[in-house]
Each structure stands twice: as structure tokens, then as C-alpha cells.
Amino acid sequence: MFKLLFLASIVIAQSWAHYDRSSVTDLSFKISGSHLEFPCESTKNIYFSSGRYISKNIIGTRMQIYKDEAIVALPRYKHGVPFTLGKFSLKTRGCQATLSPFPCWSMQEEGNCEAIQSAVDIYLDQNEILWILDAGIVNTLEQPVRRCPPKVLGIDMKTGQVIKLFDLTTLTSSETRLQYIVIDYAVDGKAYAYISDAGAGTIIVYNIFEEKGYRVVLPKAVCHSGKDVLYLNLIHKSCGNVLFFTYLASNKIFSVKSENLQSGQAAGAIVEAGIKPEGNQIVFLGTDNGAAIFFRNKGESDIYIWNTESCFKSDNFLLVQKGNECRLSTQVVPGYKRLMWTIESNFHDFVSNTVGCLGSSIVVHPLVKTCDN
């Protein structure tokens, strides 16, 4: 079964392999803070004059695709971000897309704890529910302000209605830095959320049906000191679902079976899944919803795919996109037209405040190999 899943992902990932970049112009979309949809011009003017809208302070980092729409997370890293979750149609004509708030304007209000304060990650599950990890903290790259407790919201994509909201306060600490979320379903149909807390060195496991959770304290061999990133990727294997995770600065990748996370027996079930090539810091980008993980090296734009049923070593890495020097991918997801899509940006310039008056350069497009590779 896993071989079929992986072969399918290769077909999807390489479906554009014989084209050059110009061949997918109609499926490449530029998004920016300068092209947002406001309820009316007067609202836009109010946001602009009050400093609640600063286009260059907006960047898209995470994405999920539902049918022919891309849902994009716009974390409130800096002030002046009118909404933190937006969407645009992949049927848009022309390369410039306009982002509109998702699910609506009222769900974007800062200080309203029923609304989304800062969407740091999003995940679309098998039942068409979009899960939003809301850190509750805004202006994190400037002067951080805690607006509300950290929480997770579930939105039914068929109706656009919030059907679930749970507070993470009791599962976090003063050291908490929530970064990634994945949703898993047990054999009995119950949904579980796995959330990475890089600051506390834990993975939060939350039983959504029973509305209770616990923290898996990661072993010393897993944790890394300093301000690091803790990546999560949920893999569907023939033997069951497995959560792969790693710190960016760590030289190792680890995994744990879903059944152990769900039963509360994860602490002793974490295993080493691989050693990263010497000198490389791996950025996990996403999965094909099967047995494959997409990744790139830190600071490099080339995107690779790895079959998790094989050993994690260079011989088993397949190049699926030759990147460019301007933008780096922050996520790869399956979606529209049965393609693998990526969202890329100059996030490194955004962090260092060197994006200029035009703001960040953000592009959403299918994975595509250039003719020369």
C-alpha cells in the first residue's frame, strides 16, 4: 500500500517535470499585503490612517487548499495586519490574486478572544475541517502583545462555520512557542490534534472528542536549546499513522506511532528515524497525505521528496523542484488539479526588515522542475 501511495506522490510531484516555468504561468499566483479585499473603501481608509493596515508588514507563511481555493495564514508578526487568515481562488485570471478574509471579517478582530488573533499554522483534515492554531500573541517580531489565550479553532469548510474551539492555556507554559499543528483520526473515528511547542520542548496531544489533552515531554536527545523550530509531519503508513518531528538545529529526525500518542504512552515510544546529512539543517515543508515528506535545506530553495519507508539518506532524496535565489518555500501541500502546490516568499528579508516599501514577495504555484535539471 505504501508503495502505491509513494508512487502516486511521485507522479503528482513530477507531473510538470517536462515543462519549464513559463508553462505554468496560469497556475502561478502572486499575493501581497497590497492586494487585500476590504468591506468598502472607507473601511480601508480607516484601517490605513489608524495604522491597522501596513501592507509591507503582511506575509503569508502557511497554506491549505480546499477544492479550487487556497487558504493562507498571515501571522501577525508585526502590527498593521488587518486579517490573519485569508483566501483566494485558484481560478483567478491573471497572476495577481486578491486575498479576502476567511471565514469573515468579524473573525479577525484583535482583542476578541472568540476571533483569530494570529494564525501561525493551519491544517485541513480528511473531513474537510480546517484547523487553525492561534498563538494568541501579536506583533511577535516587534513588541509581542498577548491578546488572548492560545487556542485551536475548527472551521467546517462546507459551511464556513466555526464548529470547534478549544483553549490551550492549561497545556502551555511561560516558555511556550506554538508552531505547528496536524490532525489525526484514530480507528474509532475520534480526532486528535498534535501541536508542537518548541519553547517548552513538548508535543501537545489533544483528544478533540473528549475535550482533554496532555503534553509529551520530549527526551533530551530530541530537544535543542535556544529559539528553534519544532517541525511536525503526519505520515500515513501501511502499519498505521506515524508522527515525524525534528528541531531545525538538531542533527536527527524522530518519530512516534499515532497509537502511542493517543493512548498516552508516547514518552517511551519515541524512536530515532534518521540522521541528517552532515552540516545540513532540514526544513520540513509538508506531505503528500501519504508516505512522503517534502523538505529543503535551510537557506536553500531546492525542494526534495523522501519516502519515509526508506532510510533517511541522500541516496533516497529526489529533487522535485529546482528553486531560485529570491524566495524560499515554507510549505508544500496537495490540492487543486491533483498537483502538489507550494507557497514561497522572501521570509528571510521580512524578518530582517529589508523587504522595502512594496512588501514581501509571495508566490503560490505547483511544484515544477526546470528544463535544465
Of the listed ranges 8-12, 137-141, 221-225, 245-249, the least confidently predicted one is: 8-12
pLDDT category of residue 225 using cuts at 50, 70 and 90 = low
pLDDT per residue as tens digits for the range 162-198: 999 999 999 999 999 999 999 999 999 999 999 999 9
What grid cell was written down for 285? Answer: 515543508
Ordered strands of the 328-335 beta sheet: 29-31, 362-366, 339-345, 328-335
Q: Please, which pLDDT band fits residue 26 given cuts at 50, 70 and 90? A: confident
| Residues contacting residue 139 through CB under 8 Å, at least 6 positions apart | 76, 77, 78, 79, 145
pLDDT at 22 over 80: no
Q: How sure is the predictor about 278, in pLDDT bands with cuts at 50, 70 and 90?
A: confident
Helix (H, G, I), strand (E, B) or coil at 30: strand
Task: Give the pLDDT of residue 325.
Answer: 74
Q: How many Cβ atoms are within 10 Å of 21's Cβ, its own excluded?
A: 15
Residue 3 pLDDT exceeds 80: no
CA distance 111 to 113: 6
Interval 245-249 mean pLDDT: 95
CB 288 within 8 A of CB 9: yes
Give me the mean pLDDT over the 259-277 stretch. 92
Residue 239's pLDDT band (boundaries 50, 70, 90)? confident
Domain edges within the chain: 2-366
In this predicted structure, what is the pLDDT of residue 25? 64
Average pLDDT rounded to a whole number, residues 102-121: 97
CATH class of 2-366: mainly beta
CA distance 167 to 161: 18
Q: Kindly state the average pLDDT of the residues 108-112.
A: 96
- The CA-atom distances, in angstroms, between 6 and each of 182, 292, 319, 329 are 20, 6, 14, 21
pLDDT score recorded for residue 371: 44
- For the chain, first and last CA: distance in Å? 30
pLDDT tens across 47-76, in order? 999 999 999 999 999 999 999 999 999 999
Specify the pLDDT at position 23: 53
Closest among 185, 180, 319 to 245, alpha carbons compared: 180
So what's the pLDDT on residue 72? Answer: 98
pLDDT (average), residues 140-144? 96
Q: How confident is the model at residue 324 (pLDDT cuts 50, 70, 90)?
A: confident
pLDDT, position 261: 96
What average pLDDT score do residues 127-148 get?
A: 97
The pLDDT > 70 percentage for the chain reads 91
